[in-house]
Amino acid sequence: MVFGYARVSTAEQNLNLQIDALLKEGIKEKNIFTDKVSSSREERKSLSRLLNFVREGDTIVVWKLDRLARSLIHFTKLMNELDQKGVKFKSITEPFIDTTERSSHSEFIINLFASLAQLERDIIIERTKAGLQSARRRGKVLGAPKGISEKNKQKAVLCEEYFKEGRLTVTEICERLKISRATYYKYLRHRGLDAQLRPYNNK
């Protein structure tokens, strides 16, 4: 079965362009999942339902890649999940992203994205390490906050980094660091951040 996914960033925008494109692809309207989210960190409930619903042999189609993924890291994560479930993926306006028919070109592009995503992860880690070293040179105390073990203090720093990056949802951050939402907010408070505020670079 073929499913479509469409998303707009604000309530003022409409989904007509994307839905029309998906309908032209032969996708039934009842099989089109949609989201309207105002922040890149906001959870996409319809996308989550779609990912839980699809089964081996199904296909997910989007009008444009950025309607589905927030970043290269997010895209790679989704592609891995779909591949493990045996679900195909296709972007209408970016035909080079199409796993419905295996091709060396499509596999090359996806592998390239995966490599860039890994580079992005490495940059985040290196930036965090550099920030810690800089703080130490300035005499800033970087010990574990009260209530957080020495073992987990790095996770608190990463929570702060991911929060400021503004590219992942709270759920994705918690999954990546293997912590609960309560712990995530606790770590941010200990790092002096208000999790309800939008990061400065979050559109």
CATH code for position 36: 3.40.50.1390
Provide the pLDDT for residue 34.
93
Provide the pLDDT for residue 108.
56
Domain assignment present for 158: yes
Residue where one domain finishes, among candidates 96, 113, 131 = 96
Asked whether residue 149 falls in the same domain as residue 85, the answer is: no
Domain assignment present for 120: no
Provide the pLDDT for residue 200.
39
* Residue 21: domain span: 2-96
Main-chain phi, psi angles of 123, to 5 degrees:
-65, -40
- The radius of gyration of the chain from alpha carbons, rounded to an integer in Å, stands at 19
How many domains does the structure of the chain reveal? 2
Provide the pLDDT for residue 25.
93
Question: Which residues are designated catalytic?
Answer: 9
Residue where one domain finishes, among candidates 37, 65, 96 = 96
Mean pLDDT by 10-residue block, N- to C-terminus, for the chain (203 residues)? 90 85 94 81 83 93 86 79 88 84 63 60 64 64 55 81 82 86 85 59 37
Main-chain phi, psi angles of 184, to 5 degrees:
-55, -50
Asked whether residue 28 falls in the same domain as residue 90, the answer is: yes
Domain assignment present for 73: yes
Residue where one domain finishes, among candidates 96, 126, 154 = 96
Asked whether residue 91 falls in the same domain as residue 163, the answer is: no
Cβ atoms within 10 Å of 47's Cβ, excluding its own: 20
Residues whose CB is less than 8 angstroms from the CB of residue 13 and which lie 6 or more positions away in sequence, other chains included: 36
Domain assignment present for 55: yes
Q: What is the pTM (predicted TM-score) of this model? A: 0.54
Domain assignment present for 154: yes
